[in-house]
Amino acid sequence: MLTGQDPVAAYGALVSGALGSDGRIGETLINTIPLILTGLAVAVGFRGGLFNIGAEGQLLLGALVAAAVAPVWGVPPLLGIPLLMLFGAAAGAAFAFIPGILKARLGANEVITTLMLSYVAFYISEYLIVNPLKEPGVLPATALIAEADRLPRVSDAMAAVGLVEPGGQLLGRLHLGLLVALLVAAAIAYLFSRTVPGFSIRLLGLNPEAARYGGVPIGRTIVMTMMLSGAIAGLAGVIQVLGVNYRMSSSFSPGFGFTGIAIALLGNVSAGGVVLAAGLFGMLQTGGQVMQRTAGTPSSIVTIIEGLVIFFVAVQLYLPTARLYRWSLRLRRRRS
Amino acid sequence: MRGISKHFGSVHANTSIDLDIHPGKVHALLGENGAGKSTLMNILAGFVRPDAGQVEIDARPLPLADPRAAIDAGIGMVHQHFQLVPSLSITANVLLNDEPQSGLFIDEAAAHQQVAELCRRFGLAVDPRARVRDTTVATQQKVEILKVLRREARVLILDEPTAVLTPSEVRELFAFLVELRAHGTAIVLITHKLPEALGIADRLTVLRGGRVIATKDPTSLTTQDLARMMVGREVLLDVAKPSHEPGDVVFAAHALAARDDRGMQALQGVELEVRAGEIVGVAGVDGNGQTELVEVVAGLRPASSGTIEWLGETIEDLSVLGQMRRGIGYIPEDRRSRGLVLEMDLRANVILRRFREEPLSKGLQLDRGVIDRQTRTLLDRYGVTASPDTAAANLSGGNQQKIVVGRELLDAPRLLIASQPTRGVDIGATQFVYDQLVAARDRGAAILLVSFDLDELLALSDRLVVMYRGQINARFANTAVSQEELGAAMAGSVSGARA
Amino acid sequence: MEIAVFIGLLLAATFRIAAPIGYAALGATVAERSGVINVGLEGMMLFGAFAGVFVSYLTGNPWLGVLGGVAVAALVALLLAVAVVTFRANQIVAGMAINVLALGLTRFGLDTIWNQPGVSPSVAGLGPIEVPLLSQLPILGEALFQQNPLVLLLPLLVVAAHLSLVRTPFGRHLEAVGESPEAAESVGIDVVKTRYVALIVSGALAGVGGTVLSLGQLTYFVEAMTAGRGFIALAANIFGRWTAVGAFLASLLFGLADALQLSLQVAGVSIPSQFLLILPYLLTIVAVAGAVGRTNAPAALGRPYTRA
């Protein structure tokens, strides 16, 4: 309305843009996949009382690994793709190790360290894209990954197992990364509800002093939580490269890592909630682009909605406040 | 004060209390923790609004729940937990929000002058330029007193002022109070320390369960009289403790030393032994190393030197997990911040310490069935009528403590450390805790009981030690020891130990 | 290139680049001394930068632009204050919300007002001025005294801030609120009001910092042009141990890192720009990790205050 457009038409375009056709649903889901993962990454951090604001940087590193290695190493995809996911996750974990250890040993505020490192990651990847890894051509980008080495489309995979006709276009470009993302979500849900390490992380996040009393090794748990968070973010980067972009260029990520923060909060830090919230934002993103084309409404609306979501969730969410409060109490006692 | 009543939820802190305060007299307000003394005085000083009753100064009614009005009427209160800004100087704290100015800036010189003048006037010696965080607790208390006195206080209320002072500092404080009294100021002293009250008070009021039990002239009273009035519950006298022969030494500490959170030496050369089947009570004024001792034994704090022995062997790797696995249980003094995770449900709190061990988990996976069963058993056995899904925050203090105590007893520990186990706990749950401790002892557990409640210590302990300045300075082999002897040891005199 | 010329270039660039960070860092100091972590400084700078350009576009007057930037950023800070002080929201999350909103709203503004994605049209900016006499000094003259007026204003503001924080009753009360709000409240200081004021001031300062970027260094607004300076400002405050002078000096240090990168490029030294560009960020990490910074934080920092 502010921009003189018909809101009904605009939102209609949003929804139909997101879900209007089989191909569009595919696009929505494609946008959802990295958001599920970054949302999970940030949520894992939150569970442990840590703010991994720099998931973006970890994502970039994971993507770098995949984009650099995949075109040249000649490993057959059946083995290569899972291995790359592993490497990318490891890269993200290693990158997140730094703020983790700084926090555990020195009490360094991870909001700033993870954020600063994400800028570092951005510049490092930019340098690598522009120089050593650059493919000849106009755009600075890495080599294109051969078709065989990419994450297969859902339609192709289903055709391979005989569920649909080969050559079909079911769900458009949607790739198997969706499966991976959902598996990770299930694994995280399981981690926190049924496992010992998950319980340790939850204790740390809710009451670090009681956690110490309960025998949880605080420093080690902080580092482990950050590394897990970084690993998931790194995985997101790998999947984006292998499933969508097939290469890495300067404008690789439209801020998936940062959107992940909103998603984690909106999903109330639970795995299921994150998946749903990611779905919502995926719809917003896809629908937003269509909305822009047809109704002329700028896509920045989506970012604004994102910001409002975080804001309103922040104002209502007393639990993290209480957590931080107790955490800061403990830090104060350690300092004094 | 007439007919003062106040309740917080279902707790009746004050019920129809009448109190008269006279100028130039020290009035001691006695009672146990939770008897309602602080609440009553907070009402007088305007920090809390009573549900009923009124307050009159010079026969004129005082507006209630108005700290400013109370201050203007000449009422000043020094709280137990000081309200000072540690990073600022003493002068800055005393004159906070009332700083002398020259132009836009604070006139520091004039400010220091003012404070020096106050010191002279009231006979308190502090260095105005010192930063509060670098000063001793006794000095900080003087700063708080200065803050109050400079507003021409006619009534000075002190809430447990001696809890944090050494004996000589207590003497200094009381000398000061005597001077102040001579100048006509009325002094109200909230305390639970009987000898002190008898020593300085002109009048005494004993509170129990929120009511006035008696207001008397102390000259004819003894500490026993007071204790009876204060405690007055048959429950305590019912600690049925059959005599029990202690077994072998289960735990021993030799020359144990450790530092506190600020890096200062909290323990220096502690020698301690606990045997199976005995309760060793640790007495002492708060801040003499009891907290640190408990933390070292529980594995939460490293020892800076000395040795700890378990079943005759020196422990090399002191850690929370290690101690737990040896069968050492720990009831922490602060259940809300350390003993429980209030946001989690009861199941989570029951497994808080042992979730890594079988049968609660196998490898990395938690066994929900076993956890649920153990939780229900515990709730059942200890009479907590709540579902395992309840968040711990929704339980009463007594029930919360039952969870903590019950949890630590689940695995029949060989050594149980109980630190302030009945703090903030209602009578029924207190009885429960006492019964559990005695039962554990009878089953052969060694128990280290740390408490500020002398009655509790005397009722439960087989042996008593007293901690002073990080060392054990007195030992009493049986509990036929008087409160006076204990008090003297707690105040620093190394008594001829009947060890 | 002559060493003297190089140093001159370096100094000039340092001050020019440090200025926006310096303003925001002062904002961080004020807010944190009152006990509130203002993570939204980045967003407030961005809002300020945008509003500055917009007002200058409308009026043709860059100084009105600066005022506009200050006003908008202060308003945003007010919003944060409501969330964080009155509603006791988590300070970090609420601050991040502001940052995301800033990105979205400024992008939206670019699209709807000028229909130009990514960049606004050029507007009247603040050109450099020359301080008489002093600017004739060799080397130093050009570096320090030929800058845009906001850069020249900063050191004066730092002095003013220092005096306010350390020598005035308001500064004293601010410190009390940040160290022990209970103690402050007990002597009648209004903790809520103090924190509101502190946040609004910090927002205003961030707004100035933003306009230094969009009206001083450039004369237009670029999407996300603050590029993390608001966060560097937070680190500068920590590095500077929560003092006005310290925050300013730390900002200079960060400015130096960035300026080094530029100057080396101009001097023809061929180090890839990215390596130098990450220097400020690495420096920030070192600052935050350094044990020096931690122990001086206001004791009540980050803790929401509940009036008993």
Q: Which among B247, B285, B254, B210 is positioned nearest to B491, based on CA atoms?
A: B285
Q: How many domains does chain C have?
A: 1
Helix C229-239 and helix C3-33, axial crossing angle in degrees, nearest 10? 80
- Asked whether residue B192 carries a pLDDT value surpassing 50, the answer given is yes
Chain A residue with Cα closest to C224: A255
d(CA C212, CA C125): 9
d(CA A2, CA C108): 11
Second-level CATH architecture of B249-490? 3-Layer(aba) Sandwich (3.40)
B452 φ/ψ angles, rounded to the nearest 5 degrees: -90, -5
Answer yes or no: do A85 and A182 share one domain.
yes
- Using DSSP's 3-state secondary structure scheme, residue B246 falls into coil
Separation of CA A125 from chain center: 17
Could you tell me the CATH number of the domain that includes residue C176?
A: 1.10.3470.10
**Is the distance from CB of A202 to CB of A52 less than 8 angstroms?**
no
A 176-205 residues inside an 8 A Cβ radius of B:
194-197, 199, 202-203
Q: Is C300 an interface residue toward B (CB < 8 Å)?
A: no
B28 versus A297: the higher-pLDDT residue is B28
Nearest to C272 among A98, A131, A316 (CB): A131
d(CA B133, CA B155): 28
**Is the distance from CB of C46 to CB of C196 less than 8 angstroms?**
no
Q: Is B317 an interface residue toward A (CB < 8 Å)?
A: no
Q: pLDDT of B377-406, one tens digit each?
A: 999 888 888 888 888 888 877 888 889 999
C244 versus B455: the higher-pLDDT residue is C244
Q: Which among A309, A315, A152 is positioned nearest to C101, based on CA atoms?
A: A309
B143 versus A70: the higher-pLDDT residue is B143
Same CATH fold assignment for domains B2-231 and B249-490? yes
> Which residues of chain C are modeled with pLDDT < 50?
292-293
Contact at CB, C183 and B99, closer than 8 angstroms: no
Answer yes or no: do A46 and A192 share one domain.
yes
CATH superfamily, region B2-231: P-loop containing nucleotide triphosphate hydrolases (3.40.50.300)
* A231 pLDDT tier (thresholds 50, 70, 90): very high
What is the arithmetic mean of pLDDT over B342-368? 88
Exposure string of B64-99, with b = 16+ CB inside 10 Å and e = fewer, is: beebeebbebbbbbbbeebbbbbbbbbbbbbbbeeb
**Domain span including residue C94:** 3-119+149-291
Answer yes or no: do A333 and A280 share one domain.
no
For residue B363, count other CB atoms closer than 10 A to its CB: 8
B66 versus B330: the higher-pLDDT residue is B330
Q: Which among B72, B69, B80, B77 is positioned nearest to B21, based on CA atoms?
A: B77
Q: For residue A226, give Cα distances in angstroms to A46, A121, A278, A326, C185.
A: 10, 16, 21, 20, 38
Residues 6 or more apart whose CB falls under 8 angstroms from that of A138 comprise none
Answer yes or no: do A128 and A76 share one domain.
yes
Answer yes or no: do A181 and A326 share one domain.
no
- Asked whether residue A329 carries a pLDDT value surpassing 60, the answer given is no
What would the DSSP string read from start to end of C31-67? HHHTT---TTHHHHHHHHHHHHHHHHHHHS-HHHHHH
Strand-pair partners of B313 = B310
Chain A residue with Cα closest to C285: A113
Chain C residue with Cα closest to B99: C169
Q: Is C295 an interface residue toward B (CB < 8 Å)?
A: no
Contact at CB, A199 and B366, closer than 8 angstroms: yes
Q: What is the pLDDT of residue B499?
A: 40
**Domain span including residue A248:** 7-298
pLDDT above 70 coverage of chain A, percent: 79
Q: pLDDT of A182-213, one tens digit each?
A: 999 999 999 998 999 999 999 999 999 899 99
In a domain, A1, yes or no: no
Q: For residue C47, give Cα distances in angstroms to A101, C6, C153.
A: 34, 34, 21
Nearest to C274 among A112, A126, A329 (CB): A126
Q: In Å, how far is C282's CA from the nearest CA of chain A?
A: 7
d(CA C106, CA C127): 24
* B494 pLDDT tier (thresholds 50, 70, 90): low
Q: Is C190 an interface residue toward B (CB < 8 Å)?
A: no
Contact at CB, A116 and C235, closer than 8 angstroms: yes
Q: Is C224 an interface residue toward A (CB < 8 Å)?
A: no
For residue B208, count other CB atoms closer than 10 A to its CB: 19
What is the arithmetic mean of pLDDT over B115-125? 86
Out of A120-134, A135-149, B127-141, B363-377, pick the least confident: A135-149
Q: What tokens appear for B347 in the block? A: 């199941």
What is the arithmetic mean of pLDDT over B72-79? 88
**Is the distance from CB of A240 to CB of A84 less than 8 angstroms?**
no
Q: What tokens appear for A1 in the block? A: 């309305």
Q: Report how far apart the first and last C-alpha atoms of chain B are (Å, whole number).
A: 48
d(CA B302, CA B93): 36
In a domain, A2, yes or no: no
d(CA B160, CA B183): 22
Q: What is the pLDDT of residue A243?
A: 85
* B235 pLDDT tier (thresholds 50, 70, 90): very low
Answer yes or no: do A230 and A108 share one domain.
yes
For residue C58, count other CB atoms closer than 10 A to its CB: 13
Contact at CB, B343 and A212, closer than 8 angstroms: no
What is the arithmetic mean of pLDDT over A108-125? 87
Q: pLDDT of C230-277, one tens digit each?
A: 988 988 888 888 899 999 999 998 888 888 877 777 777 767 777 777
**How is chain B split into domains, by residue range?**
2-231, 249-490
Place of tokens 């061990």: B357
A318: chain C residues, CB-CB within 8 Å: 88
What is the arithmetic mean of pLDDT over A296-323? 71
Q: Mean pLDDT over all residues of chain B?
A: 84
Q: Is C108 an interface residue toward A (CB < 8 Å)?
A: yes
Q: What is the pLDDT of residue A141?
A: 75
In a domain, C305, yes or no: no
Q: Is B106 an interface residue toward C (CB < 8 Å)?
A: yes
Could you tell me the CATH number of the domain that includes residue A92?
A: 1.10.3470
- Asked whether residue B228 carries a pLDDT value surpassing 80, the answer given is no
Answer yes or no: do A269 and A325 share one domain.
no
Residues 6 or more apart whose CB falls under 8 angstroms from that of B424 comprise B33, B34, B397
d(CA C216, CA A36): 41
Answer yes or no: do A126 and A184 share one domain.
yes
Q: How many domains does chain A have?
A: 2
C94: chain A residues, CB-CB within 8 Å: 310-311, 314-315
* A1 pLDDT tier (thresholds 50, 70, 90): low
What sign does the CA torsion over B246, B251, B252, B253 have? negative
What is the arithmetic mean of pLDDT over A289-301? 70
Chain B residue with Cα closest to C298: B87
Tally C-beta pairs within 8 A across B and C. 55
Q: Mean pLDDT over all residues of chain A?
A: 81
In a domain, A100, yes or no: yes
Q: What is the pLDDT of residue C195?
A: 96
Answer yes or no: do A248 and A318 share one domain.
no
Q: Which among B458, B456, B461 is positioned nearest to B420, based on CA atoms?
A: B456
B476 φ/ψ angles, rounded to the nearest 5 degrees: -130, 125
Out of A258-272, B473-487, C200-214, pick the least confident: B473-487
Q: pLDDT of A146-183, one tens digit each?
A: 777 677 777 677 667 776 666 656 666 777 888 899 99
Helix C244-266 and helix C229-239, axial crossing angle in degrees, nearest 10? 130
* A135 pLDDT tier (thresholds 50, 70, 90): low
Exposure string of A298-336, with b = 16+ CB inside 10 Å and e = fewer, is: bbbbbbbbbbebbbbbbbebeebbbbbbbbbebbeeeee
Contact at CB, C168 and B92, closer than 8 angstroms: no
* A318 pLDDT tier (thresholds 50, 70, 90): very low
Q: What is the pLDDT of residue A336?
A: 38
Strands B463-468 and B471-476: antiparallel
Q: Is B260 an interface residue toward A (CB < 8 Å)?
A: no
Q: Is B261 an interface residue toward A (CB < 8 Å)?
A: yes
Contact at CB, C168 and B105, closer than 8 angstroms: yes
Contact at CB, A123 and C277, closer than 8 angstroms: yes
**Is the distance from CB of C65 to CB of C56 less than 8 angstroms?**
yes
**Is the distance from CB of C110 to CB of C117 less than 8 angstroms?**
yes
In a domain, C204, yes or no: yes
Q: Is C223 an interface residue toward B (CB < 8 Å)?
A: no
